[in-house]
Amino acid sequence: MSSTNGTADPPEPATPEPARTVANFLLTLAAQKGYAPATLAAYASDLAQFAAYLAGRGLSLDAPEAIGRDAVRGFVAELHRRRTAKVSMGRKLSTVRGFFKYLLQKKRCTTDPTAGVKNPKAERRQPRALNADEAVALVTPEPGAPAADGSIEACRDLALAELLYGSGLRVSEALGLNLDDVDVSQGIVRVMGKGSKERLAPLSDASRERLRAYQRRRGELGPALTEKALFLGSRGARLNRRQAGRIIDALAQAAGLARHAHPHMLRHSFATHLLESGADLRSVQELLGHARLTTTTRYTNLDLARIMRIYDKAHPRSDPSESE
Residue 301's φ and ψ, nearest 5 degrees, are -80, 60
Task: Evaluate whether 203 touches 163 at the Cβ level (below 8 Å).
Answer: yes
- Sheet with 198-202: list strands edge to edge: 182-183, 188-192, 198-202
Sign, CA dihedral 51-56-62-63, equals negative
Active site includes 57? Answer: no
Q: Does 194 qualify as catalytic in the annotation?
A: yes
Per the residue annotation, which of 170, 238, 298, 309 is the catalytic one?
Answer: 170
**What's the rounded Cα separation, in Å, for the pair 311 and 319?**
10
Q: Does residue 299 carry a catalytic annotation?
A: yes
State the catalytic residue, choosing from 69, 86, 190, 194.
194
214 is catalytic: no
Is-catalytic flag, 246?
no
264 is catalytic: yes
Inter-residue contact 175 to 238 (CB < 8 Å) = yes
247, 250, 255, 257: CA torsion to nearest 10: 110
Residue 261: which residues within 8 A CB-CB, separation 6 or more? Answer: 130, 138, 248, 249, 251, 252
- How far apart CA 28 and CA 103 sit, in angstroms, is 12
Which is catalytic among the residues 73, 199, 264, 298?
A: 264
Contact 289, 174 (CB under 8 A): no
What is the residue-wise DSSP string for 16-83? PHHHHHHHHHHHHHHHHH---HHHHHHHHHHHHHHHHHHHTTT--TT-GGG--HHHHHHHHHHHHHTT
Q: How far apart are CA 201 and CA 286, in angstroms?
A: 9
Positions marked active-site: 170, 194, 264, 267, 290, 299
